[in-house]
Amino acid sequence: MSSQSLYPEGPELEAFVKRRRRLGVVWRSLFLLATTVGVIVLMVLLLTIINDSFGYVALEYKVAPEKMVLAWFEKVMLNAPGVETFEDYDDLAAQIAARDDAVGYLSHAYYQAHADELRLAPIDGVAPDAETVANGSYLLTRPLYIYTSLEALRERGATAAFVGYYLYHVSETIEQVGYFPAPDDAIAQAQRDWREATGLTPETLAENMATSGRVAASGGAAVAPITLAMAEQMQREGFEIEVSVSEKGAAAGFEDFCLGQADVVNAGRAIAFDEEALCRSNRITPVSFQVGLDGMAVVVSRSNHFVDGFTLEELQYALSTAPRWSDVRANWPDKPLLRFIPAPESAAFEVFIDAAFGLEPASHHERVLSALLVDNLPVGVVRRLNREKPLDQRSHDELYQLVVERIIEPTIVQTWSLLESIFEKETIEAAVAQTPRARLEFRSWVNKDFLTSPQSSQPELAGIRTAILGSLWVVLITLLFSVPVGVGAAIYLEEYGSGRWLDQLIETNINNLAGVPSIIYGMLGLAVFVRALEPLTSGQVFGLVDPTTANGRTILSAGLTLGLLILPIIIINAREAIRAVPRAFREASYGLGATKWQTIWYHVLPNAIPGILTGSILAISRAFGETAPLVVVGASTAIFMDPSGPFSKFTTLPIQIYQWTARPQEAFHNLAAATIIVLLTLLLLLNAAAVILRNRHQRSY
């Protein structure tokens, strides 16, 4: 071959350089294209997972949680000694005023009417006034509403005119009645809703003064004085509309309204879910308007000179089960405590329980959750639960889980993705409205209950606590087995190997094993760890399990199998890290009289550790996401007990994802997407911890 062909010159050289440049541009373009496609695919995958992990859910409850808690506290309060209930607030105020050993609560307007006979008892030092009610610092603050129907606003001129006049004039009158004005934005929103529903304005409202008709208002006693005042004021200004007001409690008022027997509801609380469902079933669309604020007053008689206020805990005890005043506070008189409170049908009763105790089951103490189970479950079921583990020995989370599973029994009717929830909200709300008992909730499928609950066959109750613990146990066993063995093998091959045929055979096998499909390792683990070494991997040789039920499908078998899977990767990366340590380090150590092992331990390994850790991070990341070997080894797809050691049955997060994606119910697919987010988060946390450890070690050397 001539030198001219080996070393082109002139035009031939220029052509050669151009070809190389074109080839470089092509390969660079292909690299950028592949990288861009990879990033796009990963972004689409991530967005798909996020889209399925959040969104609206239509839920049905066998027992509404708030109704269950309300019923229990109602029973406690009404069965306590010295309790008397009143439907009429004036009678309630008169009875408290006549007894210095009585306490009770009532709407602020009725306290104002009897202020010369009653004395306020602040709660945690805060009394109801315009400022504390407006900013919400007073505990027993509640909004006051009137309700009517969308159909009445559009089709009944008298109702539309009365509600419109009410909304545009109530703030001028409400303080005279004894309540506090609603926030400006709430009144403005109510006025906008009225204008949109009726097509009227304040200017055209005056044109309806000649409109005649009747408006039937029903509901609670708290809002009734405001409605009466507005009706009288309206008639004084020339409107010919008759307004009748019936005081029978908010619950009865909403029932009348939803059955078409009332045009307006006076309500000291928002409409309940079951009440709204009743309205929807009768083709009535409730519309709420906030008209004011009430600071329900806790009061005692003017003749009571020892009560200067209550803490929240004292108030809870005083208005529930405390038998004597001295039980509430030691320096108060040792005499019976009388409780005069609104009737349980009133909104004030429910609002007080919600404000003072709370209606969310999860917020209550273990003794309340135990009592809920005893009150709502059959005696036989309670006995069986106590035999399994006494209720008074169960944790708060265990009791709450039982309440949800055995009493509330939520059922997911339908789910929607995040994008659907954002762009099709009105369509979703309309669809849910066709199912009277369904509640629409926006749900993050990744939440505290999801992370702390065990697996369940019901998507409403399913969690990944068992899978998280299983994954961490398996990775721990894998790490403890593969890293020492892998690093030891790398040290032998690099530092002690002589290059003979045996060492070459081992090295060739390690390189080949790095490319073996993971399912093959699963078959190896099944044959060796699950079957051949079953007495060891099941814990039978240690006497830790029943020999009649022991088998090798345990965390130990899974960890050892995954350890074999990542062992070649760890060995190859560890060898490269050891090989990268400069030869001069070894020679300097030998020159100072160190032995071969001292040189390796004190000089080679410390400088190779960053590279070894990098390889170990990659290997553990692969093991963390493996599924196929674990399926063969015997990971459980349905397990409800948390693993307690290396000889426990187990499942892992990838297995859980695999199992849920195979389910037909859409809710399980949302759970699978949420589990993927948790898996990625744990993987990033483990990698971050390993990277921090590697960098810290690298700096120290």
DSSP character string of 514-525: TTS-HHHHHHHH
292 with 180: CB under 8 angstroms?
Answer: yes
Say how far apart CA 222 and CA 293 lie, in whole Å: 11
Span 225-249, pLDDT tens digits = 999 999 999 888 888 889 999 988 8
User: For residue range 7-58, what is the model confidence (pLDDT) as tens digits?
Assistant: 777 888 888 888 888 999 999 999 999 999 999 998 998 999 999 999 999 9
Count the alpha carbons within 13 Å of 34 in the hemisphere toward its beta carbon. 6
Distance CA 264, CA 167 (A): 13
- Of 683, 632, 676, the C-alpha closest to 464 is 676
* Contact (Cβ atoms closer than 8 angstroms) between residue 683 and residue 471: no
pLDDT at 3 over 60: no
Q: What is the pLDDT of residue 1?
A: 46
Q: How far apart are CA 380 and CA 396, in angstroms?
A: 22
| Closest alpha carbon to 64 in 368, 410, 373, 402 | 410
Burial class (CB in 10 A: 0-12, 13-18, 19+), 94: middle
Specify the pLDDT at position 549: 62
- Judge residue 324's burial from the number of C-beta atoms within 10 Å of its C-beta, 0-12 exposed, 13-18 middle, 19 or more buried: middle
Q: What is the per-residue pLDDT for 685?
A: 85
Q: Check: CB of residue 359 under 8 Å from CB of residue 69.
A: yes
Candidates 473, 453, 478, 476; CA nearest to 463 is 453
Phi and psi based region of residue 382 (left: phi greater than 0; alpha: psi -120 to 50; beta: remaining): alpha
- Return left, alpha or beta for 290; rule: phi > 0 is left, psi -120 to 50 is alpha, else beta: beta
Geometric angle at alpha carbon 637, from 631 and 638, rounded to 5°: 155
Residue range 310-320: mean pLDDT, rounded: 94
Q: What is the C-alpha to C-alpha distance for residues 94 and 88, in angstroms, rounded to an integer?
A: 10
Q: What is the pLDDT of residues 125-145, one digit of tens each?
A: 999 999 999 999 999 999 999
Position 636 scores a pLDDT of 77
Q: Which two tokens stand for residue 697?
A: 């070690």
Q: In this structure, what are the phi and psi dihedrals at residue 635, rounded to the nearest 5 degrees?
A: -65, 140
Per-residue pLDDT, averaged over 115-120, amounts to 94
* Helices first, then strands: H and E counts in the chain: 33, 13
- Model confidence at 4: pLDDT above 60: no
Write the DSSP assignment of 178-207 as a string of letters: T-BPPPHHHHHHHHHHHHHHH---HHHHGG
Average pLDDT value for residue range 221-227: 93
In the chain, pLDDT over 70 holds for what percent of residues?
97
Q: What is the 3-state secondary structure (H, E, C) of 593-616?
A: CCCHHHHHHHHHHHHHHHHHHHHH
Instruction: Examine the pLDDT at 495 and tell me if it is beyond 90.
Output: no
Three-state DSSP state, 538: coil
Q: Is the Cα torsion angle 531, 536, 537, 539 positive or negative in sign? A: positive
Q: Could you give the C-alpha distances from 346 to 23, 33, 107, 451, 601, in angstroms and in order?
A: 84, 69, 11, 39, 79
**Mean pLDDT, residues 357-384 taken together:** 93
Gap between the Cα atoms of 459 and 240, Å rounded: 57
Is pLDDT above 80 for 693? Answer: no
| Predicted local distance difference test score (pLDDT) of residue 567 | 92
| Cβ–Cβ under 8 Å, residues 310 and 123 | yes
Provide Rg for the chain, Cα atoms: 37
Distance CA 272, CA 285 (A): 14
Q: pLDDT tens digit string along 458-486? A: 888 888 999 999 999 999 999 999 999 99
Q: Does position 415 have pLDDT exceeding 80, yes or no? A: yes
Q: Is residue 209 predicted with pLDDT exceeding 70?
A: no
The pLDDT tens digits of the residues spanning 55-68 come to 999 998 998 899 99
Tell me, what's the pLDDT at 546? 64
Identify which has the larger pLDDT, 516 or 498: 516
